[in-house]
Amino acid sequence: MATANWGACNLKDCSIQRSIFQYRPSLAASSIFIALFGLSLIIHGFQGAKYRQWTFGILMMVGCACDMVGYGGRIIMYNDPWAFAGFMMQIGESCSYN
């Protein structure tokens, strides 16, 4: 696979096959998953408080927030498939526990 000078590439000058994923992530799917994980985050917050399961509720809310960040990275990559910051968000570097 030929590498691209990612700083110089954009959708009209470079082939999508030279991007990180070699395809353009779906904007609709990423938006739907952000909304669903946001709803899940709210539900887990209410259930954690109602049933006094604080640790489980907080951990599930953090997991939902991390997934929302990851899908936000895919939205960035929809707009710019060569965005390295969007790729790092998508693979979970923003929520790693190392």
pLDDT of residue 1: 44
Q: At what angle do helices 54-79 and 27-50 cross, to 10 degrees?
A: 170
pLDDT confidence of residue 96 = 61
Higher pLDDT, 24 or 13: 24
What pLDDT shows up at residue 15?
A: 85
In a domain, 12, yes or no: no
Pair of tokens at residue 94: 């923003």
Question: Which helix (H) or strand (E) segment is 33 a member of?
Answer: helix 27-50
> For residue 50, what pLDDT is reported?
96
* Domain count along the chain: 1
Does residue 81 sit within a domain?
yes
Global confidence as pTM: 0.83
Give per-residue pLDDT as tens, 27-65: 999 999 999 999 999 999 999 999 999 999 999 999 999
Range of the domain at 51: 23-90
**CA separation, residue 40 to residues 6, 33, 94 (Å):** 35, 10, 20
Q: Which residues lie below 8 Å from residue 44, measured CB to CB, with a gap of 6+? A: 57, 60, 61, 64
